[in-house]
């Protein structure tokens, strides 16, 4: 495989923006595209190169990374006459960081292979903090040679980088991640709400329980935001609902009953109906404490 010098990055949102910055610091030329151009203006000022369409990025970059909102967004930018797969140079490597469906990941992989290009599905976990601090968990699916070739790039973005198996395996692993988070977030919210109702100091309670058996990423990183009334998105509720829907659909196909996940999805959908879809996932706490 050829040496990587240029990277295309599509989707400069909450996490994508930080990821682009790490790639720039790594010495790569990074071409960026976002549906809302203004959201990439600061990256351009920092050295990224704006490109007008995904198609043009496909014609230009050695490796193309995507970090968009929904599976339909992924489908739109990869397929069709103006899609990236139809215009990529031979040997190009596509990396989709979007949490999407295993089925779509396999479809991208298969069409890429027919065109002599490579595709990895590589969803991430760690939220805005993990992206800013380059401590993302990256769970990949695809061919080992493409994964190994991109490992230096992955290591600029994360500290826990694993190839989970063939195409679609990264997305399946991310579903495991989201299932674990879904029920855990209910527990975190209920623990902090209980502490408050009991007249305890929630910060002090958190100091005690976060290092014991109850410890979790959500408890350490999102419970402090709940306590402070900070519900800004590290990860949007609307995107979490999308992920839980995918996980429920995949579980149903495997005839696996996941009642905890179903309950969490129902609770988050209630929040979204009350206008919280653009809040961070920690806003589930609002269901317990009205302030």
Q: Of 17, 174, 196, 265, which is the active-site residue?
A: 174
In the block, residue with structure tokens 């190009």: 92
Question: Is the Cβ–Cβ distance between 105 and 76 less than 8 Å?
Answer: no
- The fraction of the chain above a pLDDT of 90, given in percent, is 93
Residues 120 and 165: their CA atoms lie apart, in Å, by 10
Confidence (pLDDT) at 291: 56
| Full pLDDT tens readout for the chain, 291 residues | 878 999 999 999 989 999 999 999 999 999 999 999 999 999 999 999 999 999 999 999 999 999 998 999 999 999 978 899 999 999 999 999 999 999 999 999 999 999 999 999 999 999 889 999 999 999 999 999 999 999 999 999 999 999 999 999 999 999 999 999 999 999 999 999 999 999 999 999 999 999 999 999 999 999 999 999 999 998 899 999 999 999 999 999 999 999 999 999 999 999 999 999 999 999 999 999 875
User: Which two three-digit tokens encode residue 198?
Assistant: 């009991």
Burial of 259 (0-12, 13-18, 19+ CB in 10 A): exposed
Tell me the pLDDT tens digit for each residue of 17-45: 999 999 999 999 999 999 999 999 999 99
Nearest Cα neighbor of 98 from 189, 230, 9, 176 is: 9
Confidence (pLDDT) at 290: 74
CATH 3.40.50.12140 is held by the domain 172-287: no
> Taking each helix axis from N to C terminus, what angle separates 237-253 and 259-271, rounded to the nearest 10 degrees?
150
Nearest Cα neighbor of 228 from 197, 273, 196, 198 is: 196
User: Which two three-digit tokens encode residue 68?
Assistant: 């968009």
CATH number of 6-167: 3.40.50.720
In the block, residue with structure tokens 């027919």: 114
Residues 156 and 163: their CA atoms lie apart, in Å, by 16
Residues 114 and 108: their CA atoms lie apart, in Å, by 10
Helix and strand element counts for the chain (H, E): 13, 9
Nearest Cα neighbor of 12 from 2, 24, 28 is: 24
Annotated active-site residue 265? The verdict is no
What are the residue boundaries of the structural domains of the chain, listed by start? 6-167, 172-287
The DSSP secondary-structure symbol of 95 reads E
């Amino acid at each position: 495989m050829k040496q990587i010098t240029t990277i295309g990055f599509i989707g400069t949102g909450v996490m994508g923006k930080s990821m682009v910055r790490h790639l720039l610091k790594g010495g790569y030329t990074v071409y960026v595209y976002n549906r809302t151009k203004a959201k990439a203006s600061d990256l351009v000022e920092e050295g990224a190169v704006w490109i007008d369409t995904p198609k043009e990025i496909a014609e230009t970059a050695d490796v193309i990374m995507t970090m968009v909102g929904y599976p339909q967004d992924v489908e739109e930018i990869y397929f069709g006459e103006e899609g990236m797969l139809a215009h990529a140079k031979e040997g190009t490597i596509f990396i989709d960081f979007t949490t999407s469906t295993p089925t779509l990941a396999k479809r991208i992989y298969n069409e890429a292979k027919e065109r002599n290009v490579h595709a990895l599905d590589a969803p991430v976990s760690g939220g805005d903090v993990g992206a800013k601090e380059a401590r993302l968990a990256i769970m990949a699916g695809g061919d080992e040679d493409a994964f190994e070739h991109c490992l230096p790039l992955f290591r600029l973005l994360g500290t826990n980088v694993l190839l989970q198996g063939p195409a679609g395996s990264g997305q399946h692993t991310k579903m495991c991640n989201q299932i674990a988070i879904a029920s855990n977030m209910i527990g975190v919210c209920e623990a902090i709400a209980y502490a408050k109702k009991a007249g305890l100091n929630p910060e002090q309670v958190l100091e005690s329980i976060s290092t014991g058996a109850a410890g979790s990423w959500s408890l350490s990183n999102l419970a402090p935001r709940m306590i402070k009334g900070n519900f800004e998105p590290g990860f949007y509720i609307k995107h979490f609902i999308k992920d839980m829907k995918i996980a429920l659909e995949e579980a149903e196909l495997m005839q696996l009953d996941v009642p905890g996940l179903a309950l969490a999805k129902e609770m988050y959908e209630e929040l979204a109906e009350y206008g919280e879809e653009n809040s961070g996932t920690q806003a589930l706490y609002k269901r317990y404490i009205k302030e």
